[in-house]
């Protein structure tokens, strides 16, 4: 409905982190993307473009809601609106009106055409020549629900489940191996680990 209301259905791109990147960053739990919207096969994956962070931002994902006009950076909006119908509204009355359920605060900055000031963003925007890159084939977007399902398994998974969990932990395996640390090839589900902890055990 947002893209319909501003007549840019084919031009909106949502910068979103890859699963294997976000799971190792602090603040990833603030990024909500219900797994059901992706797993039913109906989500338009073409609207996603990988979110890349500046090299100086190594630990945290950005929680700011930012909209920017590309490729000329003619304007930028930063605010607290989630990308949802409640925040941005939905078309009603056969498209004649926009119904908004919640109102939030944001800042809109327009750059005069005769000025050329650089705008600093909390992520790495595509350049005018580069444009938004398509979502990498075979890569999952960050889905908090899927992460919880993979980590807090309540029973020993089958071979496919082991493979999914192992793949999700692959970056940690590489980091640990490079420092001479041992990492199990097939990690034990955390649900089983919790069951084996003593009452006084502390899991961090």
Looking at the annotation, which residues are catalytic? 63
The alpha carbon of residue 31 and the mean position of all alpha carbons in its chain are separated, in whole angstroms, by: 6
Between helix 170-178 and helix 159-168 the angle, nearest 10°, is 60
Q: How far apart are CA 189 and CA 30, in angstroms?
A: 24
DSSP 3-state helix, strand, coil percentages of the chain (rounded to 5)? 30, 15, 55
- Is 46 marked as binding a ligand? no
Q: How far apart are CA 53 and CA 136, in angstroms?
A: 17
Known binding-site residues equal 65
Binding-site residue positions for substrate: 65
């Amino acid at each position: 409905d947002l893209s319909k209301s501003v007549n840019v259905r084919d031009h909106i791109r949502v910068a979103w982190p890859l699963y294997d990147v976000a799971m190792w960053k602090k603040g990833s739990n603030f990024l909500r993307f219900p797994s059901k919207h992706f797993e039913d096969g109906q989500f338009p994956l073409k609207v996603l473009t990988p979110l890349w962070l500046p090299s100086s931002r190594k630990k945290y994902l950005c929680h700011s809601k930012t909209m920017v006009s590309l490729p000329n950076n003619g304007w930028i909006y930063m605010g607290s609106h989630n990308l949802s119908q409640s925040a941005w509204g939905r078309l009603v009355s056969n498209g004649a009106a926009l119904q908004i359920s919640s109102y939030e605060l944001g800042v809109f900055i327009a750059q005069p055409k005769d000025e050329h000031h650089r705008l600093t963003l909390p992520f790495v925007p595509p350049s005018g020549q580069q444009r938004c890159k398509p979502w990498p084939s075979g890569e999952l977007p960050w889905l908090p629900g899927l992460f919880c399902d993979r980590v807090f398994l309540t029973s020993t998974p089958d071979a496919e489940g082991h493979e999914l969990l192992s793949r999700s932990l692959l970056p940690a395996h590489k980091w640990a191996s490079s420092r001479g640390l041992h990492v199990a090839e097939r990690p034990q589900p955390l649900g089983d680990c919790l069951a084996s902890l003593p009452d006084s055990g502390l899991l961090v």
